[in-house]
Amino acid sequence: MTGVMKAVVKIAPAEGCLELQTLPIPEPGPREILVRVKAAAICGTDVHIRHWNPWSQARISPPVVIGHEFSGEVVEIGSDVHTVRVGDRVSSESHIPCNNCQICHEGNRHVCPHTKCIGVHQDGCFAEYIVIPEEIAFVYNDPALPWEQLALMEPLGVSVHAMMDVPLTGKAVAIIGAGPLGQMGILLAKLSGASRIIVLEPNTARRKTALQQGADAVIDPVSQDPVEAVLHLTDGCGPHVAVDFSGSTAGLTAAMSYLRPEGRLICVALSDKPISVSISDFGYRGCSIRGIAGRRMYENWEEMRGFLALGLDLSSIVTHVLPLKEFSQGIDLTERGECAKCILMPQ
């Protein structure tokens, strides 16, 4: 396909420096597909890229089209593409593993040390078109699934990875942080049969949303003692699982105190600040900590299909929809925590 497209480009290695530009439509290679982007979701990573934080500085070489959460229609395929067809409705994994290293061969592609990311190492989805490898495209041809929700499959996969790490049926679960991923975590815990879902969130609006999503109880960890409150809600035993979607060092520290003996602390949002705790009591109670990196490739994607078949509805996660040209406003809303997921519509 020839022609030009609009795209949001990080044009220079500095604060800000995001521009809506006109670029040539990219051409797919032999094992790649060209996708007409229908919806793209803004992530906290895009906020970091705008501010050019240390994470961005270590990974990005401008100019690059940003964005990595999207859905779209396949409009062209490479000569060696066999599993995706023109006209397919697709979402996409954002990580491109090397598939050749020992870590990949051990079945751990999601933590491949040579991973490349769309919207970071190569052009992303805040554009009218994007080229991706066939291997990271996932076909969802159910027309009842709106483009806006289909664009949330990548972040949903992170929540699925976290919430499916241990069986939740009949278990008490604490969810720390009720942002978009935390809200997805509530929905997944409910569908998985958790006996009690306790959400810790300082934002008043997000606590209200957490109850609407199915939380059994919400705690403001600023005005209440989180350890005392969680223990009270679990008959003094603590939850079987605590999942941190906040990256708050205070939230992690509290969780290590209120977690039930032999409980599991699952860390999704990792703070760049050090945490100072005594590990002796935590370890003596037989508790463990697990880090979550992206999505297990490709098990979590298949689990997502299952949750959608069970009736998982992400419509409440989409709170704002804007045209691509208003990307800056969308990033502002995301940074201020005034939305769950803000969707950009390129077409």
For 235-253, what is each residue's pLDDT tens digit? 999 999 999 999 999 999 9
pLDDT reported for residue 327: 98
Number of domains in the chain: 2
Are residue 108 and residue 70 in the same domain, yes or no? Answer: yes
pLDDT reported for residue 1: 86
Provide the domain limits for residue 17.
4-152+314-345
Which entry of 45, 115, 209, 334 is annotated as an active-site residue? Answer: 45
Answer whether residue 296 is part of any domain: no
pLDDT reported for residue 274: 80
Are residue 171 and residue 125 in the same domain, yes or no? Answer: no
Residue whose token pair is 């959460």: 69
> Which residue stretches of the chain have pLDDT < 50?
none
Order of strands, edge to edge, in the sheet holding 172-176? 217-219, 196-200, 172-176, 241-244, 264-267, 288-291
Answer whether residue 307 is part of any domain: no
121 is known as an active-site residue: no
Are residue 113 and residue 196 in the same domain, yes or no? Answer: no
Decide: 33 and 131 in contact? Cβ < 8 Å. Answer: yes
Check which CATH number belongs to the domain holding 238 and give it.
Answer: 3.40.50.720
- Per DSSP bridges, beta strands 69-77 and 89-92 are antiparallel
Are residue 186 and residue 135 in the same domain, yes or no? Answer: no
- Per DSSP bridges, beta strands 341-345 and 318-323 are parallel
Are residue 45 and residue 116 in the same domain, yes or no? Answer: yes
Rounded to the nearest 5°, which phi and psi values hold at 116?
-110, 150
Which entry of 2, 48, 51, 234 is annotated as an active-site residue? Answer: 48
83 is known as an active-site residue: no
Amino acid, single-letter form, for residue 16: G
Are residue 147 and residue 175 in the same domain, yes or no? Answer: no
